[in-house]
Amino acid sequence: MSSQFPYTRPRRLRGSESLRSLFQEVEFSLDDLVLPIFVEEEIDDFVPINSMPGVRRIPESRLASEIERYARAGIKSVMTFGVSHHLDDDGSDTWNDNGLVARINRICKEAVPEMIVMSDTCFCEYTAHGHCGVLHDGKVDNDATLVNLGRQAVVAARAGADFIAPSAAMDGQVQAIRAALDGAGFHDTSIMAYSTKFASSLYGPFREAGGSALKGDRKSYQMNPMNRREAVRESLLDEQEGADALMVKPAGAYLDIIRDIREASRLPLAAYQVSGEYAMIKFGAQAGAIDEGRVVRESLGAIKRAGADLIFTYFAMDLALGGI
């Protein structure tokens, strides 16, 4: 008897590199990744983001050549964020056909037509107060913001964006945007909904990258990180409202939510590895505590294993260039 124990030996399938790769269950590739980019108007030089080593704001004047460089490296898709010099109470620059949202989407599509361009659709980088919508009596007015989201979506679609990606966390935003797009004839413009978006402390470095003026927080519109049932409900609502794809954000600390939504919906599901997740890996590696390339691959692989089809990550270019 003792010679037969243990009966089951999972180690048999781990004995060599060939065995391990033969039996590996999930994988990610460049085809699954979307690179988020920050584009600033009225500047001449790249601006490094101190809290995100390796990430730089791109001057609008250099955007076309950057997009060409990404395409050559094998990047299939970018998510555009504008860094505006034209802030006001409502973020009205976003629904101007010559405003920054329109220009950056147009430049990307004209530079590389096959690049899939997703337009982050929100107001926090265009409002003087830094909130994601219109303020009335110190509160973000949901329904007034919906009207403006529709305007911005149509402007981005007209500029050529393939996807409208509303991140404002307003109730009804997907339906409002779908109606506005269809009303303007943009039936083929898709919606990548930030459908389950938590009020996370992991967005900290993004606020520097995007130059956000926010004082306070977004807890009255983004979700409580402790809520699992509500997380599924939020994504299912966006599905009903007409989203073409769903998203969980952040990713790494929310793998249970990714799995829940994967099982609750048949829509494609994305996950956003956010600025704070990027920063933790970068600074950990810079301190010599972890191996950057291996931790990046492990974290992205785990996000796929949890059930994501695509991943937004600031590491996409590093991976494409083989730098990590």
- Which residues are part of the catalytic machinery? 197, 249
Closest CA to 141 of 172, 100, 119: 172
Whether the CB-CB separation of 93 and 84 falls below 8 Å is answered with: yes
| End-to-end alpha carbon distance in the chain | 49
Binder to ligand PBG among 28, 95, 163, 206 (CB under 6 A)?
A: 206
With CB cut-offs between 5 and 8 Å by kind, which of ligand PBG, Zn ion, none does residue 251 bind?
none
With CB cut-offs between 5 and 8 Å by kind, which of ligand PBG, Zn ion, none does residue 218 bind?
ligand PBG
Measured from the CB atom, the residue of 185 and 216 that comes closer to ligand PBG is: 216
Minimum CB distance to Zn ion, residue 148 (Å) = 12
**Three-state DSSP class for 47?**
strand
Measured from the CB atom, the residue of 76 and 131 that comes closer to Zn ion is: 131
Whether the CB-CB separation of 152 and 179 falls below 8 Å is answered with: no
Minimum CB distance to ligand PBG, residue 11 (Å) = 39
Minimum CB distance to ligand PBG, residue 52 (Å) = 8
DSSP 139-197: EE-HHHHHHHHHHHHHHHHHTT-SEEEE-S--TTHHHHHHHHHHHTT-TT-EEB---EE
Neighbours of 314 (CB within 10 A): 25
DSSP state of 45: S
Looking at residues 270 to 299 of the shown chain, list those that interact with ligand PBG (rule: CB under 6 A): 274-275
Minimum CB distance to ligand PBG, residue 37 (Å) = 11
Whether the CB-CB separation of 49 and 55 falls below 8 Å is answered with: yes
Whether the CB-CB separation of 265 and 309 falls below 8 Å is answered with: no
Residue 162 dihedral angles phi and psi, to the nearest 5°: -80, -35
170 interacts with Zn ion by CB under 5 A: no
254 interacts with ligand PBG by CB under 6 A: no
Structure tokens at 202: 């992991």
Minimum CB distance to Zn ion, residue 170 (Å) = 10
Looking at residues 65 to 124 of the shown chain, list those that interact with Zn ion (rule: CB under 5 A): 122, 124
Binder to ligand PBG among 218, 262, 282, 304 (CB under 6 A)?
A: 218
Size of the site for Zn ion (CB under 5 A): 3
With CB cut-offs between 5 and 8 Å by kind, which of ligand PBG, Zn ion, none does residue 299 bind?
none
Binding residues for Zn ion (CB under 5 A): 122, 124, 132
Q: Residues in the site for ligand PBG, rule: CB under 6 A? A: 120, 122, 124, 132, 167, 203, 206, 218, 274-275
